[in-house]
Chains A and B, each alone.
Chain A
Amino acid sequence: MPEFSTQPLFDIARRLEIRGETGWLAVLAPVTDSTTNLDRLQTELQSILQKPARVIELEPSTFEELREALHQPDDDAVILSSGTGLTQEKWRSLDIMRSALERKGPVILWLATGDVANLTEHAPYIRSFIGASIFLAGPDGGIMTEAERQERLNELSQHFGFTGDEAVRKAQARELPHEPELVEWLVLLGRGDLL
């Protein structure tokens, strides 16, 4: 069975952020803890993209319901969840209505394991929007040891050319751009409250 690249949810959100907060992407849900991971993805998207993220169940939404949900509003992040998987017929009908699914904000398909085959087979128009952006939701690397944390803090400090204290001061003065690495820095400094 072909394998897709495993990506931490944080990186998936980062990918959308660098795209300019638009575009389509598919994430294969882990077999266990799918609901927990879906919640986490939603939170990561909100944190990184700085905009609301909604989860919409593809089943049993009708054409009208889905179109309305995607366009009111049309600029937030939307995760379209296939739940435990969609039927071939549902994929076909979604494919036919792809134009109605197009929107300003990003669309993330949260798929069950069997969905990628159905997506390619029965929804070629949606698949063409996704291109190579199919990822397996992976672990985030776990909790760092103190040594690893210090090492990463040093890297960030060297890279940006200022100290952690200065980063905190800039965040307090609201002078720190909202970039993923700077978010990471504040969190590693224990100042997630400044985000």
Chain B
Amino acid sequence: MPAVFRYCALNCFATFENRTYTTHMPSSVTAPEGQLSRREKFRAYMQAFNPTAPAVDLIQAGLVIEDLHQSLYRNLAGRADLEPGSQQLLVGGVGSGKTTELLLAMRSLESQGHILPLHIDVSKATDLSGLNTGSLVASLGLKIAAYFGNGVGAYSQDTELKAELGEPFEKLWIYAYGKIERVWVPSDDDSPDFDDSDYEEGHFRIRKIPGKLRPPLPSLDREIQDIREPLEQFLAAAKRRGKEVAVIFDGLDRLLDPTKFWSVAHQDLRLLRQLKVSALATAPLSVLFAAEVGQSIAGEFDRVQHLAVITAGPDNACLRSVLEKRHCSELLNREEVDTICHYSGGVLRDLISLARDAGEEAYVSEHDTITAADVEKVIRQLGNGYLRGLGPPVINALLELDQSKSFNVRLPHNIELLLTRRVLEYSSTDFRVHPALLSVIPRPEPKRA
């Protein structure tokens, strides 16, 4: 179909309110097979390349290459299993595949039978920016409680459960969400007692005691001990059922500032170690590269695993396999696959996004397959997104990095470039400008002689 698109204002005619017939409509239109199959082909392709699809769905659908990071998840799971109380940190940039690795580790732990792995995406449940000490263990406590009984109702209605874990559940709940209590406030605390009567003037006041999942909170070391006992009771109950708890804290990498990350995680992880609960947690790249603070944090963990950007390599074999797993050949030829692999820079989410966006571009441009022009267009779009907001000094620094391959990763503004994915880390000594960004950076005019 020729790409002649000068739409009239469709919305002048077609409003949502007057359209009722499409629900349950039979698709018996006698359009040429090519048209419908084209749309279906693109739809299937787009769904396979959805960069925002939950990792758990992708694993279930078999769209994930499990040994992409040398089966890292097996190592994580193995240590969590063999060494109760071990603490492992998975550090990686945005879109590097951390959640996928953690979920694969969780599946591996589950398959052991005697482990109860609990995945907690902290940022999903509560406002991570307001979290403080005690929030992680509170989340874990509620998650274990949910394993035994669904909600407050279960702990009040199930007599067996109530007898076994009712009391620790109540403590956990209050620790997490706080409570409202009625307190007696005398009219005048300083007034002398004139008689021995029991009557005292005053009134009741409602006082709210905040929970750990309602920020902001004061941070006191002793407070975290309040949850120790009920948590221990739940862990003991799990053991009685033949299960060792291992916890996976996902989403902590959103706390880009390592100091903030540590203020949330420090005491909670210490308590978990004491309780012999194995923990896996994600962390931002700044933990790895920020000078002193980063190093001291890393030193607290049994293992810090860096999930680096995938090096494309001359034949792009590794990255290509990610696309092939999702049946890219339906719309992409080998040359375009290689182009997408190269310009993704090895960032998995950018790889998937570019493949999806190229498909979308081809579809709206009325192409039957993805062309080189479609790919070029979306690479430029991605590069422009990274370029927006960069001033001349940063652009010059990026060009300098491209030329010299030299990058001082300890400088705060360079860490920012890593966190925003404008610079990619292929190893602790190999840093490069994101290729999509590099392709759109305006070059200085060559000086005339």
A contacts, CB < 8 Å to B: 1-5, 8, 10-11, 14-15, 18-20, 22-24, 40, 43-44, 46-47, 50, 52, 63-64, 92-93, 95-100, 102, 116-118, 120-121, 124-125, 127-134, 140-144, 148-149, 151-152, 155, 159-162, 170-171, 174-179, 182-184, 186-188, 190, 192-195
Contacts and interface: CB of A to CB of B under 8 A. Distances in A.
What class of interface size applies to chain B in its complex with A? Answer: 35 or more
Nearest to A97: B123
5 contacts: A96-B128, A99-B121, A121-B416, A159-B32, A175-B29
A60 B440 CA distance: 35
A14 B137 CA distance: 45
Interface in B1-58: 1-2, 4-16, 18-19, 21-22, 25-32, 35-36, 39, 42-43, 46-47, 50-54
Contacts of B379: 132
Most buried by B among A44, A95, A133, A182: A133
Contacts of A190: 13
A18 B360 contact: yes
A62 B199 CA distance: 46
Contact of B350 (A19, A95, A128, A161): A128
A155 to B, nearest CB: 7
9 nearest CB pairs, A to B:
A117-B389, A192-B13, A131-B353, A46-B16, A2-B384, A141-B6, A132-B381, A132-B382, A99-B124
A187 B12 CA distance: 9
Interface string B376-416: 01110111111111000000000000000000000000001
B11 A44 contact: yes
Given A131-B51, A159-B32, A47 B19 contact: yes
B14 A116 contact: no
Nearest to A15: B360
Contacts of A186: 14
B363 to A, nearest CB: 5
A134 B385 contact: yes
A interface majority secondary structure: helix
Contacts of B11: 40, 43-44, 47
Given A23-B52, A130-B385, A160-B31, 20 more contacts: A2-B388, A8-B5, A18-B42, A18-B364, A19-B47, A47-B11, A97-B127, A99-B124, A102-B54, A124-B421, A128-B421, A133-B357, A133-B360, A141-B5, A152-B6, A160-B32, A162-B31, A174-B25, A175-B28, A192-B12
Contacts of A176: 25, 29
Nearest to B358: A132
A20 B349 contact: no
A11 B15 contact: no
Contacts of B12: 192
A10 B7 contact: yes
Contact of B129 (A92, A102, A188): A92
Most buried by B among A120, A161, A162: A120
B7 A141 contact: yes
Contact of A18 (B43, B52, B254): B43
Contacts of B354: 131-132
Nearest to A1: B388
A8 B364 CA distance: 11
A131 B383 CA distance: 10
A43 B12 CA distance: 9
A167 to B, nearest CB: 9
Nearest to A8: B7
A25 B386 CA distance: 15
A148 B7 CA distance: 10
Interface string B94-124: 1100000000000000000000000001011
B74 interface: no
B94 A178 contact: no
A195 B364 contact: no
Contacts of B125: 100
B251 interface: yes
A142 B421 contact: no
A195 B19 CA distance: 5
Nearest to A117: B389
A5 B381 CA distance: 7
A184 B381 contact: no
Contact of B18 (A11, A93, A160, A193): A193
Nearest to B420: A124
B342 interface: no
Contacts of A102: 52, 54, 124
B356 interface: yes
Nearest to A106: B52
B255 interface: yes
B349 A128 contact: yes
B19 A159 contact: no
Contacts of A46: 15-16
Given A19-B46, A192-B13, A5 B377 contact: yes
Given A4-B381, A23-B52, A116-B389, A144 B8 contact: yes
A14 B360 CA distance: 9
A46 to B, nearest CB: 4
A143 B6 CA distance: 8
B31 A161 contact: yes
A131 B54 contact: no
Contact of A63 (B22, B127, B251, B256): B127
Given A10-B7, A23-B52, A96 B129 contact: yes
Contacts of A96: 123, 127-129, 254-255
A185 to B, nearest CB: 11
Contacts of B271: none
Contacts of B331: none
